[in-house]
Amino acid sequence: MGRHGTIAGRKAAQDAKRSANFTKYARVITIAARAGGDPEYNVSLKHAIDRAKRINMPNDKIDRAIKKGTGELEGETYVEGSFEGYGPGGVAVIVNVLTDNNNRTTAFVKHAFDRHNGNLGKPGCVSYMFERKGLIIIEKTDDIDEDALMETGMEAGMEDMVTEEDSFEIYTTTEDFNAVSDALTAAGYELAEADIEYLPSMESTPDEATVKSLKKLIAELEENDDVQKVTTNCSIDLDD
């Protein structure tokens, strides 16, 4: 099993958070739609919609989020931000947010870290332990030829492909992410996940008790509508 876990494990975790994800993804779509409401001419919006559809977000919610972004409907003004800190056992944690009230979100994130024996730090305190990379995950099926998949990815500019137990993990630079994901989609591959991620260049391997506390911190953070994503440098799959 890779650090990202199995396809089944990720799907189970996503299903458990699906209703909350609708709210989170709607915000991402709204932000992306500020640059234009037509996904054919707005790559960021296209990928935001694709991500929402992968969790079966209803079309009416997607359309409403787009209209909020283009100004056709009134809505809140969201600002992107991130927080960095150390979780239990000194595990590095990055929290990405979209919020309409930064003071409220800051207070919540700080309280969550404090409750679970962590420390909210200053910008840059842990991000040096990560690299920003495009990550595309494709589920293994009998009709996928690994060599053909690799060739398609390489021609589009991928950096690397790792074969896991039940999936292929394709890595790109942030600049080449859209080109690679579009090429794979055009070639008929179904993307289980596709996003720009913080990938750890320095990993931490905490003990069992620390992992339990870390999971509680992440669960509390992810339950908040303002929190879009929580990333750690924990080498252990936290979706188990």
Q: What is the pLDDT of residue 76?
A: 79
Q: Looking at per-residue confidence, does 143 or 17 come out higher? A: 143
Residue 17 has pLDDT above 70, yes or no: no
Cα three-residue angle 142-145-148, rounded to 5 degrees: 160
Confidence of residue 13 (pLDDT cuts 50, 70, 90): low
Q: What is the mean pLDDT of residues 157-183?
A: 94
Give the residue carrying structure tokens 């339990």: 212
Confidence of residue 3 (pLDDT cuts 50, 70, 90): low
Q: What is the mean pLDDT of residues 197-212?
A: 94
Q: What is the 3-state secondary structure (H, E, C) of 107-167?
A: HHHHHHHHHCCCEECCCCCCHHHEEEEEEEEEECCCCCCHHHHHHHHHHHCCCEEEECCCE
Three-class DSSP category at 200: strand
- CATH H-level, domain 7-70: superfamily: Integrase, N-terminal zinc-binding domain (1.10.10.200)
Q: What is the pLDDT of residue 113?
A: 98
Is there a shared CATH topology between the 7-70 domain and the 80-235 domain? no
Q: What is the mean pLDDT of residues 8-15?
A: 57
Q: What is the pLDDT of residue 41?
A: 86
Residue 1 has pLDDT above 60, yes or no: no
Three-class DSSP category at 82: strand
Q: What is the pLDDT of residue 20?
A: 59
Q: What is the pLDDT of residue 11?
A: 58
Q: What is the pLDDT of residue 55?
A: 85
Q: Which residues sit opposite 231 in a β-bridge?
A: 94
Domain boundaries, the chain: 7-70, 80-235
Q: What is the pLDDT of residue 2?
A: 39
pLDDT tens readout for residues 103-133: 999 999 999 999 999 999 999 999 999 999 9
If we measure between CA atoms, which residue out of 70, 22, 76 comes closest to residue 49? 22
Residue 28 has pLDDT above 60, yes or no: yes
Taking the complete model, does pTM exceed 0.75, yes or no? yes
Average pLDDT, the chain: 90
Structure tokens, 128:
């040096």
What's the CATH fold of domain 80-235?
A: Alpha-Beta Plaits (3.30.70)
Cβ atoms of 9 and 240 within 8 Å: the answer is yes
pLDDT tens readout for residues 45-99: 988 898 898 888 999 999 999 999 999 988 778 899 999 999 999 999 999 999 9
d(CA 104, CA 226): 9
